[in-house]
Structures are given as C-alpha cells and as structure tokens.
Amino acid sequence: MIALIQRVRSASVEIEGRIVGAIGQGLLALIGVAPGDDVARADRLLTRVLDYRVFADADGRMNLSLRQVGGGLLLVPQFTLLADTRKGNRASFTHAGAPAHSQTLFEHVVRRAHEWHAPVASGRFGANMAVSLINDGPVTFWLEAPPSEA
C-alpha cells in the first residue's frame, strides 16, 4: 500500500459539484492499493501517515506529526499511484489492486482513521473527484507500509 501525503493549509474533494470532504490544516493522503495488500498492511500505513513528522515544532523543524498538531486528514483513493510507467507513453495498471479489493481496503482505512483520529474526511472510491488543495511548503512524501513482521 502506498500513501502520497501532502501537508496542506486546506484541502477538499468535490463530486458532481458537491463538496463531500474538506479539511483545514493537515494532510491530504492519496491512497493506492496493491494486489497483495491486506488489513494489517493498511493499518501500518495509516499509522505511518498519522505519525509521520511533517509539521514544524517551535524551532521550525519538521518534528511534529498530524496527531500531535491535531490537523485534519483527507483520504482520497488513487489507483494511478500503482501505475507502471517504465516504458511507452501509456501507463499500465497491472500493479494496482483489483477494484473490489482496493475499495474494501480503502474503506477500512477510512473507518480506522475515524477511530484513531479527528477530523477525518474522504473522497469516494470509483468516483470522478475534483481535489483542491493549498499545499503548505510544499511538503510531499511517498510512504509505503512496511512489510509484515514474521
């Protein structure tokens, strides 16, 4: 599983002309699901998103997490994060999870985020979304869930 996180001053998702999710200061997290991903990996990725230190402390260093600053979290499904772009002029999506599998895991992440943090908003899986944001920094990181510990 992949999360592309962006520190934002604000962000929102619009579907068919209606805002379905919005946050103020916080993180916009674009979420991609791969075929082998599972609930445990989804939980590990969400933990990384919530605990990743991207906000400035009193000294101006990125030492504070989303949980510590109490910022908003906007979750948006984005299968294109798993695109294979190594050759040609058209992306291949063979590395992206099947739609039903991906939707199940994305919805799990949204439910778990509501349990672990507030405020949380989200886009809708499979919808054509207009995502607006004011990037803060800009600060953008690519996060992956660590593999299962055996």
Cβ atoms 54, 139 nearer than 8 A? yes
Question: Residues 138, 143, 148, CA angle at the centre, nearest 5°?
Answer: 170
**Of residues 148 and 2, which shows the higher confidence score?**
2
Taking the C-alpha atoms of residue 75 and residue 44, their distance in angstroms, rounded to an integer, is 15
Ranges 16-20, 45-49, 146-150: which has the least confidence = 146-150
Q: Give 55-114 pLDDT, tens digit per residue.
A: 999 999 999 999 999 999 999 999 989 888 899 999 988 888 999 999 999 999 999 999
pLDDT number for residue 149? 58
| Annotation says 104 is catalytic | no
pLDDT number for residue 139? 97
Element (H, E) at 82: none
Taking the C-alpha atoms of residue 12 and residue 73, their distance in angstroms, rounded to an integer, is 10
| Annotation says 55 is catalytic | no
Annotated catalytic residue within 6, 47, 68, 80:
80
| Annotation says 6 is catalytic | no
Output the CA torsion sign for 114, 52, 7, 78.
negative
Annotated catalytic residue within 6, 55, 79, 125:
79
Annotated catalytic residue within 6, 55, 78, 106:
78
64: which strand partners?
A: 55
Q: Can you tell me the mean pLDDT for 127-147?
A: 94
Short-list 29, 59, 34, CA closest to 143: 29
Domains of the chain are: 2-138 (3.50.80.10)
Return phi, psi of residue 94, to 5°: -65, -20
Q: Can you tell me the mean pLDDT for 25-53?
A: 97
| pLDDT-derived band at 150, boundaries 50, 70, 90 | very low
